[in-house]
Copies of this chain bind each other. A is one copy, B any other.
Amino acid sequence: MAGKVFFSVSMSLDGFIAPESSEELMGQQWMELQRWAFRQRHFRENLKLGEGGEEGRDNDILRETFERTGASVMGKRMFDAGEQMWPEEPPFHTPVFVLTHEKRDPWERSGGTTFNFVNDGIELALDQARAAAGDRDVRIAGGAQAIVQYLNAGLIDEFHVALSPVLFGSGIRLFEDVDDSRVALELIRSESSSMATHLDYAVHPR
């Protein structure tokens, strides 16, 4: 049986998932948005941030998200920013399909991550990701533009938002360009820790 297509992001209460420019990616607000994740053991291990970390429900949620993912799809901006930030062994450990106009050979990294550069649009990229994922799920890793393209095309089955108790005021909004006339949501799970509210929605056509 084929897996699902999902995304999972940390969002501020005012709807932002990233600062405007990637230079601010390590800024204070960004750290606050991601703070719930940075403290977790799984996150720290996976990004080679060092030993230790918490092991409660927040950690379980990160680990489950990682384990369900058989392949990821991401936009070119996210890849460009990540290329500077990910460790030698990137945190994916699966095939990753990068949406781009650039022609480039697959880039194999240690730990099982291979970046594949796909020039044929979001649907064919997803087909390749599905084939690579087998019976595991495909994660649309980001950024907002890639996520919303898949949402508007009706290709997302469900998603997870970790709602952080922060206000960004500016930046990149997750749902800025969503076609609200086509997307209906159903809350399928919610759970709060002291650091974030985890919300899972199923996506239905309207």
Contact = CB atoms under 8 A, between A and B. Distances in A.
A165 B187 contact: yes
Interface in A178-206: 178-181, 183-187, 190, 192, 194, 197, 199, 201
Contacts of A13: 161, 175, 185, 199, 201
A115 interface: no
A173 interface: yes
Interface of A: 13-15, 29, 161, 163, 165-170, 173-175, 178-181, 183-187, 190, 192, 194, 197, 199, 201
Given A167-B180, A169-B179, 10 more contacts: A14-B15, A15-B15, A15-B173, A165-B185, A165-B186, A167-B183, A168-B180, A169-B178, A187-B192, A197-B197
